[in-house]
Chains A and B, each alone.
Chain A
């Protein structure tokens, strides 16, 4: 009996591991998908990366039909710039064909017999039609287009092939163009100008019979193809992970006594204060203490490059020994040049790759500069802090409060909910004398010292002068 058959949806990789992650494994096999976006948004690159990744069988090649947008020669010329391009597959496993002139001469009715003939003679594993939207311009009426699409969709659904319809569609087209009703999947690519830089985003609108990661995901186009940065979401087990009772020494003499032994492992600490109050110094001490204990640490900074940072670290620590240097990952980002998506995803990937135990992000205000909107910033931070907690990574996030970069009451309130501990570093002036104090405003699950304590900065960093006994 030949009765074994399963409904399990098999997936085809897009060629991008990160995009596959967003699509919960890739594009479902035997589906009809629309790749939409403005000219230059990366649609053709996505389609080409997909076909070269999946073109593995000469008996089941991929067919790439161009219609009336870019000339075929131009498409192929630029295709060769990408690393995924494989000349050996051209004409055998990947077949490009210009169909625009046939459509122009015979009308849109020529598409159905072309596809039927292709299926019968080529057994294509994948069919790409680029641009499908351009076919609308040749239709004599919407009815003609709808009837043609009905036939084409019926044919493509009957056969074991995966289809990409690429087009310069706009949002309003979704409600009016019939191909959106028959599509099993819709992926939109967009490009937004933000100050001096452009941000590229993709999002999945629809993926029939499958879950997917919703929202906007940043991406770049590089020589490797699409470099996608999946939107960081809170970990699935955030509500149920076991919180550690262990303590993490702060590296600041006197502070651990105020914290009844130190911060809780895996907790997030917001370190807030004005310029010159000692935030970066204290954050560095937190990192150095981790290194001293043999913990891999990550220091993310937006203002000083790794050379400047290493100098600062050496000033406080003396010269870092080889082991310490190896365990320390310094990351410098220009918040003006990079989007928050790329920064946060890089941080998260480093965390997992290097088994990081302590993280410092210095400073949140700079990270906010990299965010196109505050909601996005808070969403990312919340997810990141949740991941820190689940992974047992202790973090310290600095925030400049004077000038108040993120100082709306609402913003401060949201940040305080997000972190387990809040430490204020303050400057005071009396009779031309300036001093520094430290106050713990919040320390979740810790019987902490509520008193404002005086502190000093010396060669080896900050120390609490009047510590609790």
Chain B
């Protein structure tokens, strides 16, 4: 990996995107102090992560690994208690009870981890990640392989972490998930290809566009627009898509269409999918 510099602030969710082997997990591991960069540094509020400081600084990080990694022959409560004690919490059992309640798994506390469904295992792993109340949360594909309901619950939790002013870094392949929760997106391809809000990335790559739905066929109105110098127009029956710039604004466009006699049903910003953005970024030369 090379040239991966970014900042993560409290109350923010940054999504790490990239193809397999792009370095998402490696980035999370470096930030979590599990492995150390050969050059460059990881700075936390209270110090730089080095082999010497990593152990202490890991206390402020909650790291959800790609797989739940539960000890299957131990109960849910035992799994969490070990971690509560490893984190040196003053009242391990109280902390465990709090997490069991928070994740609605109190009734499964005595079950062996090996007997749980994938979704429940992930919930226990998340409970383990947050047991010590870390201000920084690193999540490696938290919804991978989960059913839609479980995935939804995890996403709700991630949003709750942001509300609690935690800094959240989320690695995922699920672009819909990114669209739903991420404030910013970092695209990796062994180096940082892009880092911005989803909206800013869309604008940067595809420009701003507006979609206008007309009551009748749009062809005649499009000719008029083109005659007026508005060339970036795409027509699909009664719907036209127009590229915006400093000369072509939404009020100006609407005014011209009305002047040309168009009956407008709806005007809405046209958003390219995050998938389009992602694929475009990956196609760009490094």
- The answer on A and B forming one complex is no
Interface residues of A (CB under 8 A from B): none
